[in-house]
Structure 1
Amino acid sequence: MKQLSLVNNQKLTPKTMKNHFIKDMQSGDKLSNELLAVKSVRKGKTADGRDYVDLGLADKSGEIAGKIWADSLPHCDTVVEGDVVSICATVDEYRDKQQLKITFLQKTDSFDIADFLPTTSCDIGELWKTIDSTVSKIENKSLRALVEHFFADESFAEKFKRAPGAERVHHAYLGGLMEHTAQMVNSAEATLRDFPDMDKDLLLTGVLLHDIGKMDELAATHVIYRTLDGNLIGHVSIGAMTIDKAIDKIKKFPEKLRAKLLNMILGHHGRLEFGSPILPMTREAIALHYIDNLSAKANQADIAVRENQNGQQAFTDKIFTLDTKLYLE
């Protein structure tokens, strides 16, 4: 068994149960032997040259910053992103945000993974019914063969059901990708009722497949993080390459249809500066971009309001991805 460090001449006993979730922490709380996952690590120096470490810490309820000052560094293990740690700390406030002042930290492998991975609140079975029924609505033989290539594959389907929708911005929890996709299906069907001349099969195929690259961009252990391919290639390009390879296996897949679908996948972020290597250039690609954006932005707003409902403030802090703050009353 791993050697335990000492705090005030007492051993810090490893455990598997959390006492405090981040959402319940209050300024002044004293944390002892509390389990958190490390999401980021940054080393720095004060103006007088003393070392410190800034940590991004998380559990399934949220994230919080942690600070280790020079005096406490000898009592803290060196950690990297993805470690689970047991800490002693005080909950302080810095610039109106809670922050942990950490006096002791050690890595641990004794924890319950369910404490660290948030999961969709939606019914997984109902979400899958939405996805599966959408596949059955696609009438174009080439597009139907393409979506079935993915969703009829059991290993793909299971990975899709579990995959997070993002690392941190929107739908950033297990099942988030399927929740996001099902929401987009609902919006796409409403759009098609108002714009009946759009290609139904092409739009629905784009919705189902637009983010499958995230299944290789992201990984989830006890934190959600970007893989090597996620960092170096990104889900937009990964998705396009994956779909293009699948199309090669389908006999007589129309080249014009291939180009239109790949434009949707590559252009679904809508702008070059937002990660799309090409702009959306068809009615269906434009619709996909805005349907995607609606689901992402509404999810961010919904989470921000729910997470701040128990506070005293009338507004959230500014949410930079929404470029605004939100009224809470």
Structure 2
Amino acid sequence: MTAKKLFDYQNDENLDLFVLIKTADVRIAKNGKQFIAFTFQDQSGQIGGKYWDASDEDVAKFTAGQVIHLQGKRELYQNNPQVKIYKLRLTTGDEPQTIDQFIPKAPVQVTEMQDEFGAMLFEITNPNWQRLVRHLMQKHQAEFFSFPAAKTNHHAFSGGLAYHTLSMLRLAKTIAAQYPQIDEALLYAGVILHDLGKTLELSGPVSTEYTVRGNLIGHIVLVDEEIVRACDTLKIDVNAEDMLLLRHVILAHHGLMEYGSPVRPQVLEAEVLHQIDELDASITMMTQSLQHAEAGQFTERLFAMDGRRFYRPVEDPNLDQPTE
């Protein structure tokens, strides 16, 4: 019999399983006592839980990245699932201790994604863009194919960064075929590089956090810096029009300055890239949340989607399938 995972348990059901501590934030309650706000994770997803009256020993013992045995009950708090913790301990002996088995992964093998990216590179017909993309992809290859695309919101799983980028590339190819006025090479190069700065912004697939550079600078500026350095290495004029266009579509991909882009899209390919990014992230967030909702019920509120809840129809067989 297969062991149950976090999202195999229903509300008000007692749970007893092994999980990974994704985050462990020490906070102070109203009564002045410290507690730990946990995020527990396995391959089915992640759920929060609070460990009240935590001792200093508890704080030192139960840290992010530890595999633990958890006993508690699944509850709803403000329509969001959480775990009421009864007991937790570190694993021992022959119990599960390998972190990798608790981390969700992209639904496509890394080798398959690498092959598809390799084929798409030949469709970047501008020689400067192709040389630049090849250089930066090679430089950040290990992180690009293992990092998540975000800490919590969308594609927050191992390989999520590459999978999100690949999904966008597929959308870009379909859209470019429909609208021949789009510069395919510019769009494809922009898609591949748009989130590459997350290899510097994030810490990795396990207990993902923002790095100091990530917090203080952010992935949009970080990747532009990488482009400028690469142009110097490759002897490409960074101020030539083709490079200014590529830098612009990447710098503008969040769409609005209040969302982190220093400029708004001002060329066709920049607007298309922004819309593709929004579409892929939104579909993934909704799909993941809907998979955890019961048929005929609404999802939890999605903060990244204006706090909206989404309804899962009673007959909806597609949501039981992988997102691939």
Could you report, residue by residue, the CA deviation over 1:295-322 in whole angstroms, capped at 9, with x for unpaired residues? Answer: 11111122122222xx254322332322
Check conservation: 1:146, 1:247, Cα contact below 8 A. Answer: yes
Match of 1:76 among 44, 58, 71: 58
Deviations, residues 127-176 of structure 1 (Å, cap 9, x unaligned): 2222111101112111121112123x3x6333322221111111111111
* 1:56/1:64 contact within 8 Å kept: yes
Paired AA for residue 162 in structure 2: M
* Partner residue, 1:111: 97
Partner of 1:303: 288
**Alignment pair present for 1:322 and 2:302:** no
Query: How far apart, CA to CA, are the structure 1 residues paired with 2:134 and 2:21?
Result: 37
Q: 1:62 aligns with which of 33, 37, 45?
A: 45
SS of residue matched to 1:139: coil
Task: Report whether the alignment pairs 1:239 with 2:223.
Answer: yes
Aligned residues: 306
The one-letter code of the counterpart of 1:137 is: E
Please tell me whether residue 217 in structure 1 is matched to residue 208 in structure 2. no
Query: What TM-score results when the alignment is normalised by the length of structure 2?
Result: 0.83
Q: CA RMSD in A?
A: 2.7
Change (3 A) 1:32 1:266: same
Aligned to 2:159: 175
Whichever residue aligns with residue 167 of structure 2, its letter is: Q
Which of residues 248, 270, 275 in structure 1 aligns to 2:260?
275
- Structure 2 distance, partners of 1:33, 1:319, is 26
Q: Given that residues 19 and 70 in structure 2 are in contact (C-alpha distance below 8 angstroms), is that contact kept between their aligned partners in structure 1? A: yes
Distance 1:237 1:278 in 2: 12
2:100 is aligned with 1:124: no
Q: Give the counterpart letter for 2:107 in structure 1.
A: S
User: Percent of aligned pairs with the same residue?
Assistant: 29
1:200–1:168 Cα change, 3 Å: same
Q: TM-score, normalised by structure 1?
A: 0.82
Between 1:75-84 and 1:135-144, the stretch displaced more is: 75-84
Give 3-state SS (helix, strand or coil) of 2:119's partner: helix
Corresponding residue number in structure 2 for 1:5? none
Kindly state the Cα deviation for residue 250 of structure 1 after the two structures are TM-superposed: 2.4
Name the counterpart of 2:274: 289
How far off its partner does 1:50 sit? 4.9
SS at match of 1:226: coil
**More moved, 296-305 vs 49-58:** 49-58
CA shift in 2, pair 1:95/1:325, >3 Å: closer
On the 8 A contact 1:120/1:175 being kept in 2, the answer is yes
* Structure 1 residue corresponding to 2:131, chosen from 130, 137, 145: 145
Structure 1: runs of 5+ lacking an equivalent: 1-17
CA radius of gyration, larger in: 1
